[in-house]
Amino acid sequence: MKVYLDLVFFINFFFDFIILLATKLVVKEATPLWRIALGSLFASCSIFLLFLSLSNFGLFIVKIVISVFIILVTFGRRNFLTDFIYFYLISMILGGFLYLFDISFTYENQGVLFFGHGLGLNLVFILVLSPIFLYFYVKEYKKTKAKTSVIHSVEIYVNHDVFRLKGMLDTGNQLRDPTTGKSVILVSRNVPISMSRYFYVPYKALNTEGIIPCCKVDRVIVDDVVFSKCLVGLSKDTFSLGGVDCILPNQFKEEL
């Protein structure tokens, strides 16, 4: 039997890429495409380890270890457990979908028995069908999740730099600049946004009031929605709310 390693490598890279991309969109990770491609490349190279003579249990352990490194390479370790779980869930959902189509088209049934004389699934058909299925799955998932979710992916463009963050929509954040009327996004102090030109905006909280340094931004993209009339304020604290990097103002709620 001939095995074309270049074809196997390409197929694995393709499926790993769309699964990791779907995981990014579902979990709302602020991960650039080059890291997804890098994770897919690592996953594809690791298929050569599977040609080793291993027991079923040993092969299972190797696959788990490889999956751990795939997630670390692609998304990092900040939300590792969530990324890992959704990576496997989406893999199983896609695998179940392809298995259903394989049963539907490859086998013919006579009563309760199935025979392999049907129309086999073409590889090109599978490669085209898989991303379409994941597209609609992610779209419906995000539509359902958006009704209750307060976590959003955020991209802040300022001074030719791009900061990809995870933000939480806080209905209690009513902070605005009294002069311009622009809403303020509160950013954790560990985000390296350079504020060479900034000004102070007064704020009031529970039994607390003060001023916060703010700067203008070129634009902010929250879940593919562009906001231009907003400011970024640097918080004195590091947020510890599920790994979020910034707090979005309540004014964004109507457009998300």
Mean pLDDT of 231-251: 82
Query: What confidence tens digit (pLDDT) does each residue in 118-164 have?
Result: 544 566 777 788 888 888 888 888 777 655 567 888 999 988 888 98
From 93, 112, 146, the end of a domain falls on: 146
* Domain match, 130 and 183 both: no
Selection from 37, 32, 46, 42 nearest residue 18 by Cα: 37
Q: How confident is the model at residue 102 (pLDDT cuts 50, 70, 90)?
A: low
pLDDT for 71 equals 92
* Domain match, 14 and 141 both: yes
CATH number at residue 247: 2.40.70.10
Q: Kindly tell me if the per-residue pLDDT of 241 is higher than 60.
A: yes
Give 246's Cβ-side CA count (13 Å radius): 28
What backbone torsions phi and psi does residue 116 show, to the nearest 5 degrees? -85, 65
Between helices 33-45 and 5-27, what is the axis angle to 10°? 140
* Domain match, 139 and 117 both: yes
Domain that holds residue 118: 5-146
Q: Kindly tell me if the per-residue pLDDT of 205 is higher than 90.
A: no
From 146, 173, 207, the end of a domain falls on: 146
* Domain match, 45 and 156 both: no
Q: How many domains does the chain have?
A: 2
Task: Name the least confident of 91-95, 114-118, 185-189.
Answer: 114-118
Q: Tokens for 8?
A: 């196997």
d(C-alpha 256, C-alpha 254), whole Å: 6
* Domain match, 128 and 155 both: no
The SS3 of residue 120 is coil
Mean pLDDT of 240-256: 78
From 146, 165, 189, the end of a domain falls on: 146
Q: What percent of the chain has pLDDT over 90?
A: 11
Model-wide pTM > 0.85: no
Residue 55's identity, in one-letter code, is S
